[in-house]
Structures are given as C-alpha cells and as structure tokens.
C-alpha cells in the first residue's frame, strides 16, 4: 500500500513538472516577437538602461530614470554572460517569468490546493506571460517574481534556525522586489511586516527581525553605493518625490474610460488587415474574442476577490489560518501597487496575485448554494484564462511572421506594415550609426537605441511631458545643439505641445516618412 502511494506521488510529481514545461513552451512563440505597443516604449527604456550600465554609466548620475534600476541590472547580467542581443533580452524575461511560475507552483503545493485547480492555474499563467503584448522584459514581471518567492518563504513552515533562515531570505527577495520596482516591493515589505506582527505570538516575533535583516542586507549596500556616487537626496528624489509630483499627472484613468476603451477595441478586433497568418480567419476571430473576454475578467478580479475577502474576514477565518492571511496580505500589496496608474496594463501585471487568491478561496467554499455559485464563477474565470492562454500561444505559433534583421539580431513582427516601417528606419539608421552619426528618439522610442546598439545623445530615454520637466526638456535641447545631432526619430506625437517639440520643428526637416515613424534631418546652417 505504501509503495502504491509513493508511486502515485512520483507520477503526480513528474506530471506537474511536465505541465510546468508545457506552460513554458507556450511562451516560446513570443520570445522573438516585437510588440510595438509595449516593446518600443517600456521594454526599450529598460533595455537601453541595461546597455548604459554595460558601458559603465551609473543610474541617477549619468542618465535619468524614475525607476528602481533592478531590472536594468538584471538584464545587464544576462548581457555580460550571453552577449548583447535581442534573444538575450527576451531570455532575461523568460527566466523572470519562469521564476514566477515555479514560485507559484511551490505556493500552491504549500497551500495544499487540489490538483484540478492547481493544473488549471498553471496553464492560466500563459494567458499573461504568453499572451499578446505581455511577453517583454519588464520590471513589473521581475518584481512580481521576487514577491512570489518572498511569499513562498513566509509560507514554508520551518522550525528553529531553519525558520529564521527562511524569513531572512524572504526579506532578501522582498528587497530585490523593491530594488526592481520601488512601490511594489515596498508595499509588499510593509504588508509582510503587518502580516508577521498580526499572525505571530509575542515570542515568535523574532522572525520579523530576521525578515528585516534580509531586507536591509540587500538594500543597504545599494543605498550606500548610490548615496556615495550620486547623493542620497538625489536618488530619493528621483525614485519617490519626482514620481509623486510628475508621473501621476498622466496616470489617472477613470474606470469608465478603461471599459469604454476595452469595448471599442472589442468592436474593432475583427479587422485583420496586413496580418500574415496560416490558420483560418474563423480560428483567429474566435481566439481574439475569447482573449478580450479574458481581459474583461481581469478588470473584475480585484472587485470579486475583495468581495470574497470581506466574507472570509467576517468569519474570523484569517486569524485562525496563517497561510490564508499571508495570501490576503500579498494580494493587497500587489494590487495596491497597481494604483499608481489605474490602467488595464497595470491590472494585468498584478492579476497573478488575484488568480492565486481566487483559486485558494475556491477551495474554502464548498458548503451551501451561495458558496457553490461562487465556486462556479471562479471556475469559469479560470477556464477563460485557460482558453485564452492556449489560444494565443497557438495563434503565435502558427502565424507566419515577418523578420527584420538588426544589429541585435532577428526580430519578428506579426503585422507586415509594422515590420516594413520598422525595417525602413533601422536599415537607414544602422548605416548612419556605423558611420558615427547620432540620432535622437522623440518621445518614446528608446527601443531603436537598443536595436541599433546606439548611444542616446541625452540622459533621457523617454521625454514625455509632463512626466519630464521643462528643465529636462531644455537640457535635451542644449545637448542636441552641443552634439549637433543630425537625426531625430519622431513618433508623430504633437510637436508643438512642448518647447522641445517646437525646437525640433524649427531645426529639423522630414527626411523619411512612413505610417508609423518620421525621420527628421537637421537643417543646414
């Protein structure tokens, strides 16, 4: 009998390992694909920051960033080991997503979630990491990976010195999360501290000291280093005060606006102009529509989860169940970190915590008609994510993509017109960069610096007003004059909204123009 149980456990273990492998395989079709919606902006800024670090530049001192630099250092490590290329950039994303997946599997095992929900949740991860536009190198994903590792170490029940070591390394990974995305990591550190105080007996609160030893042992060396190289106030200002004063001025989105945009996209998704594919149009239409259903579910995840939390909280279950409480505090930390910008994208980045909580709460609700109804709704949500995940991955796998050669390797586009526009600009600029000429990308096209392995003549990889100040815009103008920068790449944003835009309009003429970009050449004196 015991040998049969051991055999079943071994088979289940290898089945779960195989399932994790399948989920990772579902990400592979996205590894070489450029997503203009997210790659040209966010991913480009982070990749360019990593290149600057490789060249010896120091964040906050040699170039401006409103982000904690952890993701850039993470990518720079991969560049050092595997060489600077687009595939290396995406390999860093693949590893960070794999860490999130494996940490989530370990969390599910620790919470003793039943097999059906565990397996469905594992496949659902591909809806985020393998879905369109989300497979990119991102500080959101890496910070989430570190937060999940930290949560697992708090859930893992050790004894004596083993427990203290676990709490120490939970603090270390929480510090890594803060170094990668400051508000997400710091919120988790705060809520983890509250959870430990809330759950521990007085004699067990020594665990909190070890958690904080871990946090400080990771963060303090970086704080001392940047304070010595740049100045403590300057770093603190860039990471916190600057963002509070400037980033929030463009980040407010009313909920109605999110849903109206979503419905508008849903209405227009039946247009597949210039999309190169081999599957039938019916299959594509089905997958895209299911995908948008999944995105609607994402909007309801926090609302639905909070509703369930209220019910569970009133039953006094949290205080009696340590693991549930930790999962609740984790959910609150991750979702509150999304509210620096109430937007669909940031909700997607945080939805993994909502999925974990939903799956766990579903296992607690097995009595009565109401509980069964709630359990059915949660199951429906997970099935939607399952269909979305596998559908998008199949679509990416079977779609014929257009490749573009760049100094950073082959990059793939699903849309012929996007590939054509990108190729026209990179083919022209790659020769100019080789000859030693500089170009400046305005406003949010830092990915071109990375794809061409080029130097930005300014310290700013993004210049979007009012995120960037008038002082920064003026400094960029001065540097363009000082370097006699010949070329400006423009994303068709309104030029005359800023002084820098007016400067570009007055000093540059359009040289190349296509549907996506314009390349401007400096006027002769």
Q: Evaluate whether 290 touches 507 at the Cβ level (below 8 Å).
A: no
Over residues 64-82, the pLDDT tens digits come to: 888 899 999 999 999 999 9
**What number of other Cβ atoms are within 10 A of residue 153's Cβ?**
23
d(CA 248, CA 257): 17
What percent of the chain has a predicted confidence (pLDDT) above 90?
Answer: 31
Longest CA–CA separation in the chain, Å? 90
State the Cα angle at 48 between 443 and 395, rounded to 5°: 85
Over residues 139-177, the pLDDT tens digits come to: 988 999 999 999 999 887 655 566 788 899 999 999 999
The residue that leads in pLDDT, 466 or 219, is 219
Is residue 182 scored above 80 in pLDDT?
A: yes
The residue that leads in pLDDT, 187 or 240, is 187
Joined together, the tokens standing for residue 485 give 């920068």
d(CA 477, CA 507): 11
Is residue 438 scored above 70 in pLDDT?
A: yes
Instruction: Categorize the per-residue pLDDT at 243 as very low, low, confident or very high, splitting at 50, 70 and 90.
Output: confident
d(CA 367, CA 378): 15
C-alpha distance across the termini of the chain, in Å: 90
For the CA atoms of 142, 131, 273, 418, the dihedral, rounded to the nearest 10 degrees, stands at 20
* Dihedral of alpha carbons 68, 73, 74, 76, sign: positive
Name the 3-class secondary structure at 271: coil
User: To which H or E segment does residue 448 belong?
Assistant: helix 447-451
- pLDDT at residue 90 in the model: 94
Q: Evaluate whether 323 touches 199 at the Cβ level (below 8 Å).
A: no
Alpha helices in 130-181 (DSSP H): 139-155, 161-180
* Dihedral of alpha carbons 197, 198, 201, 202, sign: positive
Is residue 473 scored above 80 in pLDDT?
A: yes
The residue that leads in pLDDT, 239 or 280, is 239
Over residues 441-457, the pLDDT tens digits come to: 998 899 999 999 999 99
Is residue 27 scored above 90 in pLDDT?
A: no
Joined together, the tokens standing for residue 480 give 């363009």
Range of lowest pLDDT (1-5, 124-128, 423-427): 1-5
Phi (first) and psi of residue 350, to 5 degrees:
-105, -5
- pLDDT at residue 418 in the model: 85
Q: Which of 470, 463, 512 is nearest to 487 (CA)?
A: 512
What percent of the chain has a predicted confidence (pLDDT) above 70?
Answer: 66
Name the 3-class secondary structure at 151: helix
Q: Evaluate whether 61 touches 238 at the Cβ level (below 8 Å).
A: no
Across residues 459-486, what is the average pLDDT?
A: 87
**What number of other Cβ atoms are within 10 A of residue 225's Cβ?**
12
Residues in the chain: 525
DSSP state of 523: P
d(CA 124, CA 383): 8
Q: Evaluate whether 81 touches 56 at the Cβ level (below 8 Å).
A: no
Half-sphere exposure of 154 (CA within 13 A, CB side): 37
> CB within 8 A of 27, min separation 6: which ones?
94, 97, 126, 129, 130, 135, 393
- pLDDT at residue 372 in the model: 64
d(CA 110, CA 129): 23
The residue that leads in pLDDT, 366 or 190, is 190
Mean pLDDT of all residues belonging to the chain: 77
DSSP state of 33: B
């Amino acid at each position: 009998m015991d040998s049969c149980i051991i055999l079943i456990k071994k088979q289940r273990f290898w089945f779960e390992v195989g399932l994790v492998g399948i989920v990772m395989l579902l990400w592979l079709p996205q590894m070489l694909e450029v997503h203009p919606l997210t790659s040209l902006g966010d991913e480009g800024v982070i990749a360019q920051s990593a290149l600057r670090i490789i060249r010896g530049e120091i964040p906050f001192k040699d170039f401006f960033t409103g982000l904690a630099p952890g993701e850039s250092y993470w990518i720079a490590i991969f560049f050092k080991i595997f060489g600077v290329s687009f595939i290396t950039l995406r390999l860093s994303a693949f590893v960070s997503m794999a860490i999130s997946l494996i940490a989530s599997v370990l969390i599910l095992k620790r919470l003793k979630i039943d097999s059906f929900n565990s397996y469905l949740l594992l496949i659902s991860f591909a809806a985020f990491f393998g879905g369109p536009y989300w497979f990119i190198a991102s500080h959101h994903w890496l910070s989430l990976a570190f937060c999940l590792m930290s949560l697992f170490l708090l859930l893992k029940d050790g004894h004596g010195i083993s427990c203290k070591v676990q709490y120490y390394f939970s603090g270390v990974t929480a510090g890594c999360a803060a170094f990668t995305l400051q508000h997400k990591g710091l919120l988790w550190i705060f809520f983890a501290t509250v959870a430990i105080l809330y759950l521990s007996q007085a004699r067990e609160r020594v665990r909190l000291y070890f958690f904080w030893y871990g946090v400080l042992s990771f963060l303090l060396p970086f704080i001392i280093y940047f304070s010595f190289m740049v100045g403590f106030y300057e770093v603190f200002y860039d990471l916190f005060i600057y963002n509070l004063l400037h980033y929030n001025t463009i980040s407010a989105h009313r909920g109605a606006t999110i849903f109206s945009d979503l419905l508008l996209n849903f209405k227009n998704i039946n247009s597949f102009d210039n999309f190169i594919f081999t599957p039938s149009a019916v299959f594509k239409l089905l997958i895209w529509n299911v995908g948008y259903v999944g995105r609607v579910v994402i909007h309801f995840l926090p609302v639905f989860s909070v509703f369930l939390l209220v019910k569970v909280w009133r039953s006094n279950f949290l205080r009696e169940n340590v693991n549930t409480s930790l999962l609740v505090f984790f959910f609150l930390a991750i979702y509150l970190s999304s509210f620096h910008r109430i937007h669909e994208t940031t909700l997607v980045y945080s939805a993994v915590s909502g999925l974990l909580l939903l799956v766990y709460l579903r296992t607690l609700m097995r009595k009565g008609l109401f509980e069964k109804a709630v359990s059915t709704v949660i199951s429906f949500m997970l099935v939607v994510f399952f269909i979305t995940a596998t559908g998008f991955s199949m679509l990416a796998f079977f779609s014929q993509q257009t490749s573009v050669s760049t100094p950073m390797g082959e990059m793939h586009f699903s849309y012929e017109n996007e590939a054509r526009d990108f190729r026209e600009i990179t083919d022209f600029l790659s020769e100019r960069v080789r000859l030693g000429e500089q170009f400046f990308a305005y406003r949010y096209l830092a990915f071109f610096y990375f794809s061409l392995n080029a130097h930005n003549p300014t310290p700013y990889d993004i210049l979007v007003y009012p995120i960037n100040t008038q002082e920064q815009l003026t400094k960029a103008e001065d540097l363009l004059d000082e370097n006699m920068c010949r070329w400006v790449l423009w994303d068709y944003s309104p030029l005359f909204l800023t002084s820098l835009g007016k400067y570009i309009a007055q000093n540059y003429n359009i040289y190349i123009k296509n549907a996506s970009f314009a390349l401007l050449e400096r006027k002769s004196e």
